Amino acid sequence: MKIALAQLNYRIGDIEVNTAKILAEIEKAKEQNVDIVIFSELAVCGYPPKDLLDYPSFIERCETALQLICEATENVAVLVGGPAWSKLTKGKKLYNSAYFYADQKLVRRIDKTLLPTYDIFDEYRYFQPNEVFECVEYKGEKIAITICEDLWNLDDEKLYKVTPMDELIAQKPSVMINLSGSPYSYNHVEKRRTRMQLNAKTYGLPLFYVNQVGGNTDILFDGGSMFINRMGEIVEECEFYKEDFKVIKWDSDHIYEDNHQDYYDYDIGLIHDALVMGVRDYFGKVGFSKAVLGSSGGIDSAVVHAIAAEALGADNVKAITMPSRYSSTGSVVDAHKLAKNLGSPFSTIPIKEVFDSFNRTLAPEFEGTQPNVTEENLQARSRGIILMAYSNKFGNMVLNTSNKSESAVGYSTLYGDMCGGLSVIGDLYKEQVYELARFINRYGEVIPYEIINKEPSAELRPDQKDSDSLPPYPVLDKILFHYIEEKKGWKEIVAMDEEGLTEDIVRKIVRMVDRNEYKRFQASPTLRISHKAFGTGRRMPIVARYNH
Amino acid sequence: MKIALAQLNYRIGDIEVNTAKILAEIEKAKEQNVDIVIFSELAVCGYPPKDLLDYPSFIERCETALQLICEATENVAVLVGGPAWSKLTKGKKLYNSAYFYADQKLVRRIDKTLLPTYDIFDEYRYFQPNEVFECVEYKGEKIAITICEDLWNLDDEKLYKVTPMDELIAQKPSVMINLSGSPYSYNHVEKRRTRMQLNAKTYGLPLFYVNQVGGNTDILFDGGSMFINRMGEIVEECEFYKEDFKVIKWDSDHIYEDNHQDYYDYDIGLIHDALVMGVRDYFGKVGFSKAVLGSSGGIDSAVVHAIAAEALGADNVKAITMPSRYSSTGSVVDAHKLAKNLGSPFSTIPIKEVFDSFNRTLAPEFEGTQPNVTEENLQARSRGIILMAYSNKFGNMVLNTSNKSESAVGYSTLYGDMCGGLSVIGDLYKEQVYELARFINRYGEVIPYEIINKEPSAELRPDQKDSDSLPPYPVLDKILFHYIEEKKGWKEIVAMDEEGLTEDIVRKIVRMVDRNEYKRFQASPTLRISHKAFGTGRRMPIVARYNH
């Protein structure tokens, strides 16, 4: 038997285009005499479709698409994800389903049982869980088909009461197939491999696993579809961050040898590729080809510039440096050198005149007051406005250059450096930004070494350094990671008794994170690479008073 | 038997303060010889606690609070909402529970069965559903206790397979109690009353229903706790938008007469009160006492100004008018008259100098280009920056003055008029803003009649009118309502064959709504008064391509 893994990049809601892509893969499968070609979860509409699922007309168009796919299954079987009406009088109106078509007929529809409703997932918002378990028989094989989360309930502490494979295994299947929509976060690749290998070993069955690929706004799908043999060895693995189509010869009597392709699993390299894909897909899918960013001569904008240049082409990334009276000469020189290294267009637009005119305009109102953070914010906001004006005039999307450490503690100006259509490194802590810069320079200088080696500064007042207001980044990032990713309260963090983690500092940082929820609420979409990014996946009440 | 409805305004996460409030009400109940005092859903931690529930230390502190409440139940029984560990090895880790304490002991813990996971609700994200149904016996009564959503599964098309009261009724209870956290939206008061009356009639039992009150960021709880007799008549109803404590004499042999208090159910009045409470609570809970807003002389800023003045006191609301070369003299005069009518401080800060300096600064970069939307946005953003500078300097929170019609079609400038810490009327269509203005003037002129009667204009270019780019508001609002609230696609809206709803216009508007998702993503929190507000409750993918 020949089984194909079809790993595609879908556009959410673009049902007709998704369907055309699916049909093209089906034709390819036929040409190669494939028996079953497998697509990912909710492939016809793209994942996650969110509240588009509330529109009855949306579901109807998915049904039309599925009908077209069904009609294309002459001499091939197809397994494809799509929504289905529940037809029950009780419960949610939809199922998240996998359609098994062969010989232009629906052989069976399999509905998803386990509906993740945590972090970025909201499936219980839309779908009714399946309660019926039956394998599909096809060409002498008995196939246990599940959808994504259905294979994830293997922990000692189970999140769900039912484990679909525990039900299906009673029917003695010969193979497992799983249709997924499993997003990337930086330690998730290994987690997913390990979990799927565990499934193969637990049930003693080979597993065909198909994921989608591509960035959908903030959520990045990395692909990595795979075939795992019954001993839990990864026999075939699809590309990461690319569409792929892999045909696997397999029958239930035969166990393949391991020829698992070598893919670098150096974290920062995967993060790099994820961000490049995320930028490229966001621009492509919202219809932009050019970017503009404020290039300060600091590490954050440098890394964003390099990533954007790789994703969009360097000449499509306009860099503007906007010096003020507090900017060092070095900053402008370094930003310019970076643009030259990359080959990007570059301009210098000083903000002095605009800043002075704000001060003059506000002088009558501000009479008798002292300069404070107001004037620092005015500089950041003048820059934001200049970038937005450039964007309006020439159609370049503004890239936001904030990192996760800054947005965690609110070391940023709303409507100033928080401007932008997309935050590229907003899910990377400052230390990870440095690591990424070194990775970008792995074959030689792209980001000027001066930028990597200078001390971080917002340059909003004379001789300002980030370390005036914040602990050193290695300490800050550690506290943030324990608080945000690990969900430890300040007492637990202090109790770890690690260097720099004094009660004063930890409490101060935790309080800063809490108090800046209101700023993050208005942040741009952020490419998600960790398992706990700000945004969709971390929902804190703004008005809360709670002392962690 | 004497039963008390304790309707309180809780601060999310402020467990110790919430508990102190609860304990004070318990003392009040003891003084009045109350038998059972009832608090609302998740009262100890406030509702909705969101991802604070992910912190084990948060749950522990709720448990400590519950223990204190338990110890206070000498000579009185207490029913209070709080989270509980599930202690199962499978499933979600928490229950959403009601604790029934009497004589300093836990009589029973009741867990919530139906977990809403739609619109603003995310309960399946955190909680395991209850599967055990048992009434509580106390002082000769058999009490069927449920939590909020548990009483809402009465439709012909049921959202859930289980209906808790259908299970409990078999034990022949004598009375029902429901602990709720039920937010306001403008037609929800009547819906809730009707639904609870239907429960009483369906099961032939009296119902004590306790809701919380107060604004939690965007979500507004209106209170309206009630006692409904077994015939479905509302016998007692608590205040709306205020804390209340109502003692009801009742025993299962006695049916009270109807003395349902008169509360105006004129929609716009309720909306008005909701917004006043929303502003007051948001400011109070984040620790601000003063507001600032851009007062343009238009209807939107006028209504926001009036609402804010009522919520915070007129002298705590600073109004700034920021005329440009395109502003009519009338605008400044009208804005000034409004401030005088209300008694608010008022300044005029012209933006000409700032605007000119942006143009000069950008001139080398913009050489050879024509003025377009860029220059309009520069004006809006100059105003936004001035307001933010005032906010930074004096500690007034900027109020956003956008309405729902504008933000639906993106007729607004990101980082310009979209600035602000809170959007007050962002869930009101333009026509509702006018209605609200007329309501504010019900006892005489507060908002100058000139403002109500002038034609809407953004005043960003000479003689500009909103109707240059948009259909008349009655038509626009109708299309938006059908598309957003009613979830009709453009074909369905055109098929309604109503005045002004031509295919051209409807398709254009629907497309505008879709294309401006990215702007709304960065909008401030918006007080929610409809059942489908932008923000938490409507989640559309930004990168979607889907033709409604």
pLDDT in tens, B16-57: 999 999 999 999 999 999 999 999 999 999 999 999 999 999
Catalytic residue flag (residue B70): no
> What sign has the CA pseudo-torsion B533, B534, B539, B543?
positive
Q: Which of B193, B218, B251 is the last residue of a domain?
A: B251
Same domain, A244 and A288: no
Q: Cβ of A14 under 8 Å from any chain B Cβ?
A: yes
Same domain, A211 and A298: no
Could you tell me if residue B380 is inside a domain? yes
Query: Containing H/E element for B355?
Result: helix B352-366
Same domain, B359 and B243: no
Same domain, B211 and B311: no
| CATH code, domain carrying B280 | 3.40.50.620
**Can you give the pLDDT at residue A507?**
96
Query: Containing H/E element for B247?
Result: strand B244-249
Q: Cβ of B2 under 8 Å from any chain A Cβ?
A: no
Structure tokens at A125: 């918002």
| CATH code, domain carrying B70 | 3.60.110.10
Q: Are A14 and A246 in contact (CB under 8 A)?
A: no
Shortest CA distance from B62: residue in chain A = A546
Instruction: List Cβ neighbours of B181 (8 Å cut-off, separation of 6 or more).
Output: B40, B41, B42, B47, B48, B81, B148, B211, B212, B221
Alpha-carbon span A163 to A149, nearest angstrom: 10
Catalytic residue flag (residue B112): yes
Conformation bin of residue A494: beta by default, left when phi > 0, alpha when psi is -120 to 50: alpha
Same domain, A239 and A282: no
Query: Containing H/E element for B6?
Result: strand B2-7
A and B: number of Cβ contacts within 8 A = 262
Alpha-carbon span A381 to A388, nearest angstrom: 10
Shortest CA distance from A418: residue in chain B = B415
Catalytic residue among A112, A337, A478, A488: A112
- Return the biggest CA–CA distance within chain A: 87
Q: Cβ of A16 under 8 Å from any chain B Cβ?
A: no
**Can you give the pLDDT at residue A449?**
86
Same domain, B180 and B71: yes
Instruction: List Cβ neighbours of A493 (8 Å cut-off, separation of 6 or more).
Output: A479, A482, A483, A501, A506, A510
Q: Do A361 and B386 touch (CB under 8 A)?
A: yes
**Can you give the pLDDT at residue A517?**
93
Could you tell me if residue A130 is inside a domain? yes
Structure tokens at A543: 């008005």
Same domain, B288 and B236: no
Extended strands (E) in A360-502: 397-400, 422-423
Catalytic residue among B45, B148, B238, B419: B148
Q: Do B525 and A542 touch (CB under 8 A)?
A: yes
A chain contacts of residue B127, beta-carbon cutoff 8 Å: none
Q: Are A51 and A59 in contact (CB under 8 A)?
A: no
Catalytic residue flag (residue B41): yes
Could you tell me if residue A264 is inside a domain? no
Could you tell me if residue B508 is inside a domain? no
**Can you give the pLDDT at residue B430?**
92
Q: Cβ of B287 under 8 Å from any chain A Cβ?
A: no
Which residue type is seen at A171?
Answer: Q
Could you tell me if residue B189 is inside a domain? yes
Q: Do A14 and B544 touch (CB under 8 A)?
A: yes
Could you tell me if residue B532 is inside a domain? no
Q: Do A415 and B377 touch (CB under 8 A)?
A: no
| Residue A48 preceded by cis peptide, ω within 30 | yes
Encode chain A (548 residues) as per-residue pLDDT tens digits: 999 999 999 999 999 999 999 999 999 999 999 999 999 999 999 999 999 999 999 999 999 999 999 999 999 999 999 999 998 889 999 999 999 999 999 999 999 999 999 999 999 999 999 999 999 999 999 999 999 999 999 887 889 999 999 999 989 899 999 999 999 988 888 999 999 999 998 888 899 999 999 998 898 999 999 999 888 899 999 999 999 999 998 876 543 332 222 322 346 888 898 899 999 999 999 999 999 999 999 999 999 999 999 999 999 999 999 999 888 888 999 999 999 999 999 999 999 999 999 999 999 999 999 999 999 999 999 999 999 999 999 999 999 999 999 999 999 999 999 999 999 999 999 988 988 998 898 778 899 988 988 888 888 888 888 888 889 998 999 999 999 988 999 999 999 988 889 999 999 999 999 999 999 999 999 998 888 899 888 888 988 888 77
**Can you give the pLDDT at residue B271?**
86
**Can you give the pLDDT at residue B463?**
81
Q: Do A377 and B388 touch (CB under 8 A)?
A: yes
Tokens 């300002």 identify what position?
A464
A chain contacts of residue B369, beta-carbon cutoff 8 Å: 393
**Can you give the pLDDT at residue B265?**
37
B414 CB-contact burial (10 Å; exposed 0-12 / middle 13-18 / buried 19+) = buried
Alpha-carbon span B87 to B85, nearest angstrom: 6
Same domain, B15 and B164: yes
pTM listed for this prediction: 0.84
Tally of CB atoms within 10 A around A441: 16
Could you tell me if residue A503 is inside a domain? no
A chain contacts of residue B285, beta-carbon cutoff 8 Å: 543, 545
Alpha-carbon span B435 to B139, nearest angstrom: 51
For chain B, the domain total comes to 2
Q: Cβ of B87 under 8 Å from any chain A Cβ?
A: no
Structure tokens at B209: 């229903």
Q: Which of residues 445-484 of B touch A (CB under 8 A)?
A: none
User: Sheet containing B77-85: which strands, arranged edge to edge?
Assistant: B105-111, B94-102, B77-85, B36-38, B2-7, B244-249
**Can you give the pLDDT at residue A253?**
58
**Can you give the pLDDT at residue B183?**
93
* DSSP character at residue A483: I
Q: Are A413 and A385 in contact (CB under 8 A)?
A: no
B chain contacts of residue A158, beta-carbon cutoff 8 Å: 89-91
Q: Which of B50, B160, B347 sits opposite A540 (nearest CB)?
A: B50
Q: Which of A193, A223, A252 is the last residue of a domain?
A: A252
Alpha-carbon span B292 to B295, nearest angstrom: 9
Q: How far is A453 from chain B (nearest CA, A)?
A: 31
Shortest CA distance from A281: residue in chain B = B543
Q: Which of B469, B497, B531 is the last residue of a domain?
A: B469
Same domain, B306 and B244: no
Q: Which of residues 358-397 of B touch A (CB under 8 A)?
A: 358, 360-362, 364-366, 369, 372-374, 377-378, 381-382, 384-386, 388-390, 392-393
**Can you give the pLDDT at residue B253?**
58
Catalytic residue among B41, B141, B406, B459: B41
- Return the biggest CA–CA distance within chain B: 87
Alpha-carbon span B80 to B87, nearest angstrom: 20
Alpha-carbon span A280 to A289, nearest angstrom: 9
Same domain, A161 and A279: no
Task: Report the 3 state secondary structure along B420-484.
Answer: CCEECCCCCCHHHHHHHHHHHCCCCCCCCHHHHHCCCCCCCCCCCCHHHHCCCHHHHHHHHHHHH
Low-confidence ranges of chain B (pLDDT < 70): 252-267
Structure tokens at B31: 């003084």
Alpha-carbon span B131 to B150, nearest angstrom: 12
Percent of chain B scored above 70 by pLDDT? 97
Task: Calculate the alpha carbon distances from B436 to A21, A383, B330, B462, B470 in Å.
Answer: 51, 38, 22, 29, 22
Shortest CA distance from B114: residue in chain A = A91
**Can you give the pLDDT at residue B267?**
66
Q: Cβ of B41 under 8 Å from any chain A Cβ?
A: no
Q: How far is A387 from chain B (nearest CA, A)?
A: 10
Q: Do B350 and A360 touch (CB under 8 A)?
A: no
Same domain, B74 and B152: yes
Q: Cβ of B117 under 8 Å from any chain A Cβ?
A: yes
| Residue B48 preceded by cis peptide, ω within 30 | yes
Q: Which of A54, A285, A541 sits opposite B216 (nearest CB)?
A: A541
Q: Are B378 and B433 in contact (CB under 8 A)?
A: no
Q: Cβ of B64 under 8 Å from any chain A Cβ?
A: no
Domain that holds residue B339: 270-469
Structure tokens at A121: 């997932």
Residue among A372, A378, A515 at smallest CA distance from B288: A515
Q: Cβ of B161 under 8 Å from any chain A Cβ?
A: yes
Q: Give buried/exposed letters for A192-201 (b at 16+ CB in 10 A, else e).
A: bbebbbebbb
What phi and psi values does residue A113 have, to the nearest 5 degrees?
A: -95, -50
**Can you give the pLDDT at residue B187?**
80
> DSSP H helical segments within B112-263, as ranges?
164-168, 188-203
Tokens 């851009």 identify what position?
B294
> DSSP H helical segments within B290-351, as ranges?
299-312, 329-342
B chain contacts of residue A385, beta-carbon cutoff 8 Å: 358, 378, 381-382, 385, 415
Could you tell me if residue B516 is inside a domain? no
Same domain, B19 and B100: yes
* DSSP character at residue A170: G
Catalytic residue among A62, A148, A238, A419: A148
Catalytic residue among A41, A123, A237, A310: A41
